[in-house]
Structure 1
Amino acid sequence: MSLKQRRQTTEQQWHRFVENKRLKPREVPKTISASWQRSQSVHTTKLVPLEDPYETKYRWHESVIHSSAKQELGHLIDIVSEGELVAAISDPSGRLLWTYASKHMQDRAADVNFVAGGRWGEQSAGTNAVGLCLVTKKPVTVFSAEHFHSNLHEWVCYAAPIIHPQTGKLVGTLDLSSTWEKHTPLGQAAIEQMAKSIAKKLPIHTPQAELELHMLGQPHVIYQGKTLPLSLRHCEILCLLALNPRGLSLNALHDALYGDQKVTLSTLKSEISKLRGLLHGQIDSRPYRLSVSCWADFTELWSTIRTQDVEQTFSLYQGSLLSNSVSPEVEQWRHCIDAIMSKSLHSCVDLAQVVRQCNMSAGELVRDRLIELASH
C-alpha cells in the first residue's frame, strides 16, 4: 500500500469513528483505536493549550533531561535542519519543554502549538505521538488521520520514551515529526535510539529515603533503590500512611480509603497484607503505619510551599496527586494541591496567602493539616 493509499484509508476510518463511533476489527492498530476512545472528550478542532514561555523555559533548564540531552540535541538539530522536520522533548505530563523546527516546519508547528509550552498529553491534544507514548511507555508512530485532531492529519509523528535506566521512571519523551508524505519506518527507529542514548546519560538517582513515593503526575514508587510496580489501591494506601505518620486505625484507614463504598474490613486487611509483603514487612499494625524511612513528593511540596521556595515547588509539582484515585482523603488533598499550584504558580501570588485561601474550601481532614503546615 502506498503512503497516499494508506492516508486515504486512515482518513476513511477516522471519519467512520468520529461519525458513528464504530470500527471494524483490525481496521486500525489497537493502540490507536484505544486512544481514539479515550480522546472522544477532546474536540477535534480544539487548539492545544499553551503554557507561559517563562515557566516552560525554567522547567526545561531544571529538567533532568536538559544536561543529559546536549550531545544528542546537537545531532538532532543537524538532522532537522537538513530535512523538513520538527523535534521536541516533553516532560512526563506531555508538556513540550524544547522544540526545534526546520524553516519549512516552523509555521506549521506554530499553527498547532507544537512549540515549547504546548500541552500534548492525550487529555489535552487527543491521539498524538507524545501523548500515546506517555500512555504506552513504548515507541510509537502516529500517521496522518491516526491523529484524533483533524488539524494534525497532515502530520506523521514518531515518539519514544526517555526512561531512567536505574529507576525505570519515565522522565519524558523525544519526538520527531514531519508531513505525512515524508513518513519512513526509519523515523521511529532513529528516535528510539536517540531516546535511549539520552537515558543512559541521565544523572544517577540518589535515594531520598528507603521508600520514595512519587505520586504527583505519573505515579511510581521506589523501594530500596528499585522501582516497585504497585496497583492504584496500594499507591493510595501508601499515600494515606505517608500523610498520617502517627498511624491510622483499621476503621480510620478504611474511611479515608473507601469512604461510603461497601468494602469490607477484611478486604482492606488483605490489601495491606499484600502491600506489607512487597515492602518486606515494613508496615506496622495497631495502628497501621510505615516502619521504614519514607519520602513523598506531595509532603515535600507542602514544605516548599511553607518556606515559599518557589523554585523547588516548580520542580516538585509534576501534575495532580494520583489523578485516578477516588479515595476521599486523597481527593481532598489533590483538589487543594491543584488549587494552590494553579493560583500560586500561574499568577505569582504569595504562596502562604494561597494556602490560607484554600483553607476556606478544604475538607476538614485536609484543612487542619494545611493550617498546621502553613503556620510552621
Structure 2
Amino acid sequence: MALSPTDVTQLAAVDSARAARLLSDVRSATLSGQRAPVAPRPVIEQSWGRMLRGGVDPDHDFRTGLLPREEVQRRRESSELRHVLPVLREGLLSVADVAHHIMVVADEEGRVLWREGSSPVLRKADGTGFELGADWREGVVGTNGIGTPVVARRPVQVFASEHFVRSQTSWTCTGAPITDPRNGRLLGVVDVSGPLETMHPATLAWVDSVAKLAESRLRELHQSSLEQLRAVAAPVLARLGGRAVVVDRDGWTAAVAGMPYQGRVALPKSPPAGQRWLPTLGLCTVEPLAGGWLIRASDEPLPRSATRIVLDLSLPRRWSMTVSGDAGTWSHELSPRHAELLYLLALHRSGRSAAGLAEDLFGDPGRTVTVRAEMSRVRRYLGGFLEHRPYRFCEDAEIEVLLPDDPRDLLPHSTAPAVVDERLSRQAP
C-alpha cells in the first residue's frame, strides 16, 4: 500500500531510520526529476521549488560568514524577542534538553541570536554551521526549520532528507514564526532541532503553542506600555481644545479627546513633527510625546481627488502599500493576511462580498466573521479609500500591483485557493 506524506511523518515517530531512508529516496527522485515513491509534503515541495529556482546546490554546504559577537549582541539588545526569552525557555528548554534537542532563536533575517539546550547536541550543531551569528535564510542554506518558516509564515517541521542540502539530512528541525502583535511584522523564528532519531510529530504543535505564548506575552507588554502612555497623555489632553489623539510609536491609541475612539492611526515609520495628512483624520499637527505622538486634527475634509495606490508584492517577505495624492504620500507595511486581501480586491475592482472573500481565502464562504474582522482592521489605515457592501477600492483610485518576477513567488506563504489559482494561471504559457 502506498504511503502518504502524513504516513511518513507518523512512521518517523516509531521508526525514524526507515522513514529517513524513504525520504532520502523521495529527495533523490524529486531532485533528479524522477517519480518519487511518496510525494513530498506541500510545504516541503514548495520550498524545494524555490531552492531549485534560486540555484541552491543540494550537494554542497554553503555558509556565509558569522556575525561578529558585537553585532550579535547589538541585535539581541534591539530585538523584541529579548522580552519573550523567559517564555521560550520555560516552554521549551526543559523538554528539549531531556529529548536531546536544542532551542534556537533567530531574527527576521534568519540570523541565529540565541542557542541553548543539550550540550552534546550543541557541539554537533557546530559542525553544521548552526552557530551564533550564522545565516540560516532558506535561500542561503536550503529548506530548514528557520529559513522556511520565515518564508512560509507558519510553523514548519523539516525531517531528515526533507532538508534540501545533504549535509543537514541527519537532523530534524521544527520552527515557528513569532510576529509582533502590534503590526503583524515578523520578529523572528524559534526552532527546536536535534538528531533525526529524536523526531516526533507532536513537536510541531508544541513549538507552535510556545511561539503563540510568546506573542501573547508581547501583547501584554504592549498593553502595559499603552497604560503608561495614557497616564502621560491625560494631563496633556485635558489642556487642549478640539480633536486630539495620543498614540504610541506604532500608532496604537492610548487616549482621545473630542473625537470618536479608533484603535489605531496609520503612521509613517518615522513621522516628522509638523503638519501632515493622515488617513481617516485628514490634515493634522503631529508633535512628539514621551513614548509616542500627540496628533491634533483640523476640521478640513479628507481629500478624495486623484489617488494612486501601489500594492507592492514583489519581495518575498516584505509587502507594502503606498498611497499618493494631493495630500502627500504615505506607506504602510502589510501583514500576510492583509496582503492577500488587498491583492484579491485589486483583482476584483467591482468588489467582493464577505462570502466571496471567504471563498477566495479559505474555500469556505461561511467564514465571513473572520473576513469582516480583518477588513475592519484594513479600513483603519485605508479609511475612505475602501468601500464596503461589497468590499472594493474607491472608484476614483488608480490601483497598481507590483508582482514578483517569478509567479511562483507570489505571496509564497499563502494557501488561499484564489491566490494559488493566480500563481498557476500566471505560470501558464
Does TM, scored on the shorter chain, surpass 0.5?
A: yes
Matched with 1:102 is 118
C-alpha distance in 1 between matches for 2:103 and 2:126: 13
* Residues 191 and 233 of structure 1, relative CA distance in 2, 3 Å threshold: closer
Quote the residue 2:82 is aligned against.
Answer: 66
- The one-letter code sitting in structure 2 at the alignment partner of 1:281 is G
2:106 pairs with one of 63, 72, 90? 90
Shift of 1:68: 2.1
Q: CA RMSD in A?
A: 4.0
Among 24, 30, 33, which residue is 1:21 paired with? Answer: 33
Structure 2 counterpart of 1:6, from 7, 19, 35: 19
Q: Distance in 1 between matches of 2:320 and 2:135?
A: 30
CA separation in 2, counterparts of 1:324 and 1:213?
23
Q: Which amino acid aligns with 1:42?
A: V
2:383 pairs with one of 280, 289, 293: 280
Q: Whole-Å Cα distance in 2 between the matches of residues 145 and 112 of structure 1?
A: 15
Pair 1:33 & 2:45 matched: yes
User: Aligned pair 1:115/2:131, yes or no?
Assistant: yes
Distance 1:140 1:236, change over 3 A: closer
| Superposed counterparts of 1:211-360, under 5 Å | 211-212=266-267, 231-232=311-312, 238-239=321-322, 241=324, 246=328, 279-281=382-384
The 1-side partners of 2:403 and 2:128 are apart by: 28
8 Å CA contact 1:236–1:325 kept in 2: the answer is no
Which of the pair has the greater relative contact order for Cα pairs under 8 Å at 6+ separation? Answer: 1
Name the CA distance, whole Å, in 1 between partners of 2:329 and 2:192: 48
Unmatched tracts of structure 2, length 5 or more: 1-10, 224-247, 252-264, 270-278, 281-309, 331-345, 353-377, 387-393, 406-429
More strand by share: 2
Q: CA deviation at 1:175?
A: 0.4
Deviation at 1:46, TM superposition (A): 2.6
Rg larger in structure: 2
**Structure (1/2) with the larger helix percentage:** 1
Provide Cα deviations, 1:111-149, integer angstroms capped at 9, x if missing partner.
Answer: 122122111121111111111211222211100000001
Deviations 1:239-278 (A, max 9, x none): 4749x97569xxxxxxxxxxxxxxxxxxx9x98x99xx95
Q: Deviations over 1:199-235 (max 9, x none)?
A: 1111318354422467xxxxxxxx88xxxxx953699
Q: 2:190 aligns with which of 166, 174, 185?
A: 174
Secondary structure in 1 matching 2:192: strand
Question: Match for 2:222 among 168, 184, 204?
Answer: 204
Alpha carbons of 1:9 and 1:169: their partners in 2 closer, same or farther (altered >3 Å)?
same
> TM (normalized to structure 1)?
0.58
Q: In the superposition, relative to structure 1, how do residues 38 and 22 fare at CA in structure 2: closer, same or farther (>3 Å)?
A: farther
Q: Which amino acid aligns with 2:98?
A: E
Query: What secondary structure, in the 3-state scheme, does the structure 2 residue paired with 1:201 have?
Result: helix
- 1:55 is matched with 71
Query: Is residue 23–residue 161 contact of structure 2 (8 Å, CA) maintained in 1?
Result: yes
State the AA in 1 paired with 2:22. Answer: T
The number of residue pairs the alignment matches comes to 259
* 1:135 match: 151
How much identity, in percent, do the aligned residues show?
Answer: 21
Alignment check: 8 A CA contact 2:143 2:162 kept: yes
Deviations 1:316-343 (A, max 9, x none): xxxxxxx9768xxxxxxxxxxxxxxxxx
1:77 Cα shift?
3.2
Matched AA of 2:56 = V
8 Å Cα contact 1:140/1:160 also seen in 2: yes
- 3-state SS, counterpart of residue 16 of structure 1: helix
Task: Identify if the C-alpha distance between structure 1 residues 23 and 78 changes in structure 2 by more than 3 Å, giving closer, same or farther.
Answer: same
Aligned-partner SS, 2:71? helix
